[in-house]
Amino acid sequence: MFFAVAVFAGCRSNVSIPNTNAPATVAMRQVTDDLSRTVAVPVKITRVVSLAPNLTENIFAVGAGDRLVGVTTFCNYPEAAKSIAKIGDTMNPNMESIIALKPDVVFVSTASQIEAFMKRLRRIR
């Protein structure tokens, strides 16, 4: 299971959660992704995008289906996956839709998929 996370921490406004009083800093942890990059991810991951049906099924299987905010058009199992926002297909995800969902992490299924995903995301940023 591959994942891309670093750029989404950068897409958030200063990696803090705004509130009416003062911004609270999000606790982060360092992890090494499957491209051997050290990236920061929130300690508490609440918003997840899955770019492959098998990953979506695994996320539901570990009891974290309620954290999915975006899945591909191919993600149709379990039944609850059908009602989650669609972000395009596995090989051509809609980057603007993903960014708008403000995920903490995006799970991808192959090294080539993560490289293509990161390249497209860099062009937008």
Q: pLDDT digit string (tens) for 4-53?
A: 543 344 444 333 334 455 556 889 999 998 778 898 999 999 999 999 99
The pLDDT of residue 88: 94
Q: pLDDT for 25-39, tens place per residue?
A: 889 999 998 778 898
Q: List the Cα angle 40/44/47 in 5-degree steps.
A: 90
- How far apart, in whole angstroms, are the C-alpha atoms of residue 95 and residue 26? 24
The pLDDT of residue 22: 52
The pLDDT of residue 26: 86
The residue segments making up the domain with residue 14 are 2-124
Total domains in the fold of the chain: 1
Q: pLDDT for 55-113, tens place per residue?
A: 999 999 999 999 999 999 999 999 999 999 999 998 889 999 999 999 999 998 877 77
- The CATH number of the domain holding residue 118 is 3.40.50.1980
pTM for the model: 0.76
* HEC sequence for 66-123: HHEEEECCCCCCCHHHHHCCECECCCCECHHHHHHHCCCEEEECCHHHHHHHHHHHHH
